[in-house]
A and B are shown apart, each in its own frame.
Chain A
Amino acid sequence: EVVLTQSPGTLSLSPGERATLSCRASQSVSSTYLAWYQQTPGQAPRLLIYGASSRATGIPDRFSGSGSGTDFTLTISRLEPEDFAVYYCQQYGSSPLFTFGPGTKVDIK
């Protein structure tokens, strides 16, 4: 089973700052099958990044993804007020087929 670990658990930053979120897998994950989601309170998750580095439709270019193997990163270059949310990484691989990380909360400092 592939276990995803996200760090930090909470990231306290100010608008305009850069956010760097980490997702580590317990075993190698194909970059093709690593995605990132954003979830604001009371809302469904929204796909941000797929294939480790491709932005989903309508996602601003301040969001970027990178990484390979067991280490992946989501970067938000300049935080906007609407970016304060919880972010999840997700992989497809061995059983269970689809797993999510525990999430990183980005809150306002």
Chain B
Amino acid sequence: QLQLQESGPGLVKPSETLSLTCTVSGGSISSNNYYWGWIRQPPGKGLEWIGSIYYSGSTYYIPSLKSRVTISVDTSKNQFSLKLSSVTAADTAVYYCARQSILYWCFDYWGQGALVTVSS
């Protein structure tokens, strides 16, 4: 059974960089059929896609965050990571990692989510 697990600091100071890692188990991140994505959800609000990466390193980002976001992949560790720079309180959210089917471009497996609070 595929499992995804987010890890990283739960508290980040304003203007600093948010860093999260998603560890994939029960399957290979190097599969041809999937991208790997990050989605966030501010408290009490809806879902926002942040960006996605293929095992080769090819990435897509949401334009509104593109200048601040970097997603990378480490196939040797079966992990992919999110970095979001210059954070503000508006970046406080639960951050989810998820697997994306290339055939249907939907998110079929999700991590449990990691709450990241931006506060001094």
Q: Which residues of A contact B (CB under 8 A)?
A: 32-33, 35, 37, 43-47, 50-51, 54, 56, 88, 90, 92, 95-103
Contact = CB atoms under 8 A, between A and B. Distances in A.
Contacts, number: 61
Contact of B106 (A44, A47, A102): A47
Contact of A33 (B48, B105, B112): B105
Given A32-B104, A90-B106, A96 B63 contact: yes
B64 to A, nearest CB: 8
Contact of A90 (B63, B64, B107): B107
Contacts of A102: 46
B58 to A, nearest CB: 13
Interface of B: 37, 46-49, 52, 60, 62-64, 96, 101, 104-108, 110-113
Contacts of A33: 104-106
B49 to A, nearest CB: 4
Contact of A96 (B46, B49, B104, B105): B49
